[in-house]
Amino acid sequence: MTQYIGWLRGCGTALVTPFTAAGVVDEKRFRALVERQIAAGVRLLVPCGTTGEAATLTAPEQERLIGLTVETARGRAKVLAGAGSNATAATIDRARAARAAGADALLLVAPYYNKPTQAGLAAHFRAVAQAVGDTPVVLYNVPGRTASNIAAATTLALAREVENIVGVKEASGDLAQIMAILRDRPAGFRVLSGDDAVTLPLIALGADGIVSVVSNEAPDLMANLTESALRGEWEAARQLHYRLLPLMEANFIESNPGPVKAALAAMGLLEEHFRLPLVPVQEQTRARVRAVLGPLGLLPGAAHVAA
């Protein structure tokens, strides 16, 4: 039977990782970003994922960032920590380290580059879940990044057969696949959108929330959108959806987290530094990001009105 994790719902934020000009993690700014999320009503924090540039973090940096998230949150929000890699043994090491750092649950991306079969994917996730005992595990399916898709049948088999595999972040963009999971999932198994723009329709179909990029910029608005939808307040949710949609789309003009970091820099919340092979966005992207931040009142000096 799937563990029931009541708090695994609503709006979770896929936290960016701020760096200094010297290329090290900017811990002071990271703490401030976490505090901003909590103050805005976000109760699920997701460090060290795609948006957090996890692929360029060393194992000690990853463990430190997860620990900082836990320490800063001080129980006010749960921590779903990214711990995936494309080697099962390395994933087990990072998952155990994330658990030791205080993470409430683990987000495990499908192994990238290797292109495992469905049997290989299932064996990978089983091995990691078994290695972390009863720590909750959330699968992360993002074929555009990994070059492999976790099929609905594989997700559902893991959900039914591995007690601590408690949910999936679905970013495949395949609505038929996501609906199959929603229709046939066991009781308690959570489905989270991995794409801001389809949060509203997926919740209408039965999904439980979102691991969001846009909530880095507008945490209160995205949290309100998600909660409104979960309460069945469709008109309020629809208005917020269309209000945020231009920013949701701008965040992916170039590879994430390029645009969202440009936005946060324009908002004065971090310095726009990346680790290679990521580089700052093009000027036309930066201009577009600023153009959509303005009407939301998110630029310095503008009045931000939450809805």
d(CA 185, CA 189): 6
- Single out the catalytic residue among 28, 113, 115, 140: 140
Nearest to 184 by CA among 141, 155, 143: 155
d(CA 115, CA 127): 17
State yes or no: is 140 an active-site residue: yes
Tokens found for residue 35:
């505090």
109 with 74: CB under 8 angstroms? no
- Single out the catalytic residue among 4, 112, 113, 169: 169
d(CA 220, CA 85): 31
| Span between the terminal Cα atoms of the chain, in Å | 39
DSSP 239-253: HHHHHHHHHHHHTTS
Q: Which DSSP category does 49 fall into?
A: S
State yes or no: is 113 an active-site residue: no
**Active site (catalytic) residues:** 140, 169
